[in-house]
Amino acid sequence: DASTDSDGSDDVNFTRVPVRDEQDNPSRYNLCVTTMIAYVSSLTNGGCNKEFNEPLLNQQAEWERARPVKPFLDNLFSGKDLLCCATAVEDFKNIVDIVGGEEEKGRAAALLARITVVPDLPFTGLRPSGKIKERSLLIFGTGHAHKAVTVTANKGFVQAAKQKGARFAVVIHES
């Protein structure tokens, strides 16, 4: 991915923005739907060496071979409390139910068993517009309210929020 941040810097594959009142080793992570999908996907769990009919899937497989997401997330999650807002969990379950294979459904169940589901706490400092979607305001707002670092592949939301003056503690990974 050769895109450039709005500040002119090159993309960083995994970006950490520290939590304000915590050391560089946060104890709690808030998971975005993009992160949960990346974590349980067949592509990130050994399926990146297949050849796909869709060019987009081949591109994602190439990225996964070059910079594996699952080991990064496993390391990040090790010994940490994982939380997620109710809406994100429901959306994740629906996606896995519709498009997930049996192994992905099993990995999803194991991941969900590790997560504490908390009520949605929307961030009220922004209004939905463009790349700022209502679901993202719920997810990132919940992380913010719980003083948790949000783990996400939703770089578009993070950048759009930053341009509007809202900064969230995040770890951004590739999808």
Q: What is residue 114's predicted lDDT score, i.e. its pLDDT?
A: 98
CA atoms within 13 A on the CB side of 109: 8
Whether residue 13 is predicted with pLDDT greater than 80 in this model: the reply is no
Ranges of each domain in the chain: 15-172
CB 169 within 8 A of CB 158: no
Torsion of CA 175, 116, 112, 28, to 10 degrees: 40
Whether residue 159 is predicted with pLDDT greater than 90 in this model: the reply is yes
Torsion of CA 156, 160, 166, 170, to 10 degrees: 10
Return the H-helix or E-strand segment holding 90: helix 86-99
Q: What is residue 126's predicted lDDT score, i.e. its pLDDT?
A: 86
Whether residue 67 is predicted with pLDDT greater than 80 in this model: the reply is yes
Q: What is residue 110's predicted lDDT score, i.e. its pLDDT?
A: 98
Enter the pTM of the model: 0.82
**How many residues make up the chain in this entry?**
175
What is the CB neighbour count within 10 angstroms for residue 160? 19
pLDDT grade for 24, boundaries at 50, 70 and 90 = low
Whether residue 66 is predicted with pLDDT greater than 90 in this model: the reply is no
Question: In the CATH scheme, what architecture does the domain 15-172 have?
Answer: 3-Layer(aba) Sandwich (3.40)
Question: In this predicted model, what pLDDT tens digit does every residue of 99-151 receive, in sequence order?
Answer: 999 999 999 999 999 999 999 999 988 888 888 899 999 999 999 999 999 99
